[in-house]
Amino acid sequence: MFSRCWSLPLRNASLRTPSCTMVLVLLAVLAAANAAHGAPAKRADKTAEVDTEHMFGFTEGSDIGEAGEKELEADSTGRFRRLGGSYSNVATALEAKYSLSDRLRLSAVATVAYYHIAGADGLDDRRQGALQSVSFDARYRLFDREHAPFGLTLSVEPHWGFTDETSGAPADQYGAELRLLADRELIAGRLFAALNVSYEPEQTRLRASGEMLRDSTLGVAAALALQVMPSVFIGAEARNLRHYEGLGLNSFAGQALYIGPTFYATFGRGYFLSAAWNVQVWGAVAGSSGALDSVNFERNQVKLRFGVTF
């Protein structure tokens, strides 16, 4: 992904994408901060206690907690408005996490979803709740930002689904999400930046028809978060998602660029709350010149998380 972005200007300027621009801009910010401040030493007291994992909304930080740390979390994602009619999908993931060491964390997730679909193009009308999927997440921290220029964590999350994530139709779904999560403290204890790169292949067999669907999604996200008062951060993020037919990014189907505000706060003994609202501001279905992609992606995406660490 990174080599492709660097080579685009030399090959064909028409191939440039928002995802490449986001990567290059944030890398430039991180590089400039590193040159100005040098590799940070280990922080003391309060600056070392900031947890960046959920600070950036849909974008995530590299922190995984200390050895022996446990966390319970409820993560609700709402997706609204597709082409034609009415479309609402709210999925809530219940997750239990445990850090085996300062570098490795494992977690188990169960997701329930509610669908309200009426008259949306290409989708059957549906109004129901369902157990959507179960998954397992493993995260390994490659670099700790307290000892390196930036934090970097690899996340691998295989999942098994019982309904199609978009339509809610009964299905057997298998997939995985692979992500690189990078972040850096730009101003000690005040300003943080994050960069995510993700790849998600997925295979779905619709039970009613037996039809087999294979697709994949490539994503790049960049975010900033600023502490505006003790334990309260506000920020903004931008995400470019590209949808493909085939498990290996075989045939481009469409893409969307989302931007929106984020909020994160900690309170009490280990409790946290985060929220984000993303709006599709640009997009295109393959072969069209439209300003949005309402076929593969929703117009609005909202996330609300609540959790406790102990």
Main-chain phi, psi angles of 141, to 5 degrees: -85, 115
pLDDT of residue 97: 98
- Nearest residue to 220 via CA among 3, 26, 9: 26
CA 204/CA 161 separation, integer angstroms = 8
Contacts of 226 (CB under 8 A, 6+ apart): 190, 191, 192, 233, 234, 235
For the record, the structure tokens of 24 come out as: 């290059």
- Nearest residue to 180 via CA among 142, 208, 217: 142
| Distance, C-alpha 212 to centroid of its chain | 26
DSSP assignment of 15-29 equals G--HHHHHHHHHHHH
pLDDT in tens, the chain (310 residues): 444 443 433 333 333 455 555 545 455 444 444 443 444 434 433 334 789 999 999 999 999 999 999 999 999 999 999 988 899 999 999 999 999 999 999 999 999 999 999 999 989 999 999 999 999 999 999 999 989 999 999 999 999 999 999 999 999 999 999 999 999 999 999 999 999 999 999 999 999 999 999 999 999 999 999 999 999 999 999 999 999 999 999 999 999 999 999 999 999 989 999 999 999 999 999 988 778 999 999 999 999 999 999 9
pLDDT of residue 20: 55
Contacts of 138 (CB under 8 A, 6+ apart): 104, 105, 106, 155, 156, 157
Where b means 16+ CB within 10 Å and e means fewer, 32-50 reads: ebbeeeeebeebeeeeeeb
- Nearest residue to 57 via CA among 246, 265, 241: 265
pLDDT of residue 9: 38
Helix (H, G, I), strand (E, B) or coil at 45: helix
User: For 6, how many CA atoms within 13 A lie in the half-sphere containing its CB?
Assistant: 5
CA 262/CA 239 separation, integer angstroms = 13
Global pTM value? 0.85
Domains of the chain: residue spans and CATH = 2-309 (2.40.160.40)
CA 162/CA 42 separation, integer angstroms = 45
pLDDT of residue 290: 74
